[in-house]
Structure 1
């Protein structure tokens, strides 16, 4: 006999699991939800992130549908000045704690088990175990298991570097940098950031804004990356013009290009995509969003190592296979090699809805919370898995310039599928997490004059769609072969 029963057992109290639970509470007012998570508080991987981390995209479309994350105002200072706010680490954790304590638990329909691991199932009975207590319980799941851990997010504090670290090397991770003030008599002489992704960019910006001279910062970048220009991705309510420009640029560049690199080159000319070094053609694209001011800061770092991946670090020397590169003594090496999303799992997508299991995945890249919330809506409002899965084929998790056109094509097809379904279209019109839905609905209700420009987007997409599909299918073949 089970220790307790529930309708839905959600594994993970992070952005994915909580976005699903939040929407399910509204769409299915009779269901009971149980959430288990390894962390001591809600927020998933944000609990493990470095303290100066912030969202890449405006907070207007992050979190859950029922609760705004940040004030609706423009930042006046820093590298995000003139744009809408990006929630910071403490704000994100506070947001999810408030969601749990003021909405989830008081509803009387959510049971939350922090510091608890999921241990598998036997039929409809599922095992969970308290991490600190060691106590095991069984849960009778009346409806479905919801897996919110598909993305298996990795951050520096939970990641093991793939290179050797000598005993005499000064080594740290981004989360430990703010504590350097505690030992002012033993400050590093130089800093080397290892990694080419957004964590490395965040870390380099933090060092520069903390007053470290760019001459004292080195950067190991085996690959460079393209990034979305944040100024075009402002909340639709305030910046629909930028979103129109962004969408138009994507389809026009894709339709006019024979390769992903050619598409990115065109987007770079238009300012839709940004890169740090104008003399290097990036081959990486992880959906990062950045401001022009951040790029300007990062360009001030001139010591860049492009010898490949680091194999060993020691005081005064950095190794790249058989090549040893001399670096200043007493350098602090900062590991930023964790991949936030396991792109190596890109070929492991599965059915979103599969009998008694829901696997929360991307429906549109890179909108993670929206995809989870949409999954909850489909679960509550459609009768069969066939109906649900037809509306949410998992979006491809691409990570290179060669394969990104596949994601562009898939997103456009997903938008068409959902907009042609009356119920799904109505959900998007009210979903705070959808990038344009509520704003467009409000514009229509108010007969906003900006609708004239917005009305041109559909025909432009339609006219360019054959070229988008041609490039997208070529990218799909590369993606599936890699």
Structure 2
């Protein structure tokens, strides 16, 4: 296991009106954690305590985030596996041993080794979504590639100016390290603010089955006051989180910040936080 990962709790992301309250409260928890965090390590602790993120081993600090989702029951089953090797990536499989980045362990010639390390999402090139006669299908919302593709299609269909199209579709980076969780939210919040200001996009969002809030409310009938209160609270908490979000984003480039999670790689350029 080359890198432990932060994992999202599936229960927070289930569709349908019966899951509305839990999903919205976890969204609010995320914004509150951002607003209250004193540092990046403190942010991960707060997100874990609030049930937003999970990890396989509480004694091991995760060094990656890839939008992975699992249920708490699935995590419990995974924790039954005790023979976990944390010696980096596999270099080669020999008849008698496995060569890893940080060591060698014994192997058996009659054992089948399966590579399960492929990523579902790969880092995208630094290009705009709308680029002349080419449309680059990039994520424009936090961990939502399908929603992103649909929104890009809506923008292409209703907005003719390329500069405005790209302003509505700033790419959200595919995450690799824990700090990318924060970077994704920064860009998503900025995009969402612009979507609400564009009438045709805003109308589409309210009716799209790929939009999280719309899916949660689907079939619920008239929105009751408690649901409206949660929606308003979520918006207020998002705005309240922005000042500290800016500070945390700035800390990504301070000496020693998120060093382990970056793995020695250069930090991403910061998006402009709304």
TM-score with structure 1 setting the length: 0.50
Name the SS for the 2:89 alignment partner.
Answer: coil
CA shift, 1:255, in A, is 2.1
What does residue 91 of structure 2 align with? 311
What does residue 212 of structure 2 align with? 435
Counterpart Cα distance in 2 of 1:369 and 1:399: 19
CA shift, 1:419, in A, is 1.4
What does residue 456 of structure 1 align with? 233
1:78-116 deviation line (CA, Å, top 9, x unaligned) = xxxxxxxxxxxxxxxxxxxxxxxxxxxxxxxxxxxxxxx
Counterpart Cα distance in 2 of 1:475 and 1:236: 36
Match of 2:184 among 407, 412, 419: 407
CA shift, 1:441, in A, is 8.2
Name the SS for the 2:143 alignment partner.
Answer: coil
Counterpart Cα distance in 1 of 2:186 and 2:198: 19
- Higher fraction of helix: 2
Counterpart Cα distance in 2 of 1:451 and 1:333: 51
Counterpart Cα distance in 1 of 2:142 and 2:165: 18
Gaps of 5+ in 1: 1-220
CA shift, 1:381, in A, is 0.9
5 Å matches for 1:37-56?
none
1:258-289 deviation line (CA, Å, top 9, x unaligned) = 44332112111122111111110101000111
Match of 1:245 among 13, 25, 28: 25
Counterpart Cα distance in 2 of 1:390 and 1:280: 39
On the 8 A contact 2:173/2:180 being kept in 1, the answer is no
Match of 1:336 among 116, 129, 136: 116
TM-score with structure 2 setting the length: 0.85
CA shift, 1:440, in A, is 5.1
On the 8 A contact 2:19/2:216 being kept in 1, the answer is no
Aligned pairs, number:
257
Change (3 A) 1:439 1:404: closer
User: Which contiguous aligned blocks of 4+ residues in structure 1 show a shift greater than 6 angstroms?
Assistant: none
1:39-84 deviation line (CA, Å, top 9, x unaligned) = xxxxxxxxxxxxxxxxxxxxxxxxxxxxxxxxxxxxxxxxxxxxxx
CA shift, 1:476, in A, is 7.8
Name the SS for the 1:304 alignment partner.
Answer: coil
Larger radius of gyration: 1
On the 8 A contact 1:409/1:468 being kept in 2, the answer is yes
What does residue 170 of structure 2 align with? 393
What does residue 468 of structure 1 align with? 245
What does residue 368 of structure 1 align with? 145
Match of 1:421 among 186, 198, 213: 198
What does residue 259 of structure 2 align with? none
Bigger RCO of structures 1 and 2 (CA < 8 A, at least 6 apart): 2
Match of 2:135 among 358, 377, 382: 358
CA shift, 1:475, in A, is 3.9
CA shift, 1:431, in A, is 0.9
Counterpart Cα distance in 2 of 1:297 and 1:349: 39
CA shift, 1:403, in A, is 2.9
Matched, 1:479 2:256: no
Change (3 A) 1:310 1:438: closer
Counterpart Cα distance in 2 of 1:368 and 1:427: 17
Two-structure CA RMSD over aligned residues (Å): 2.3
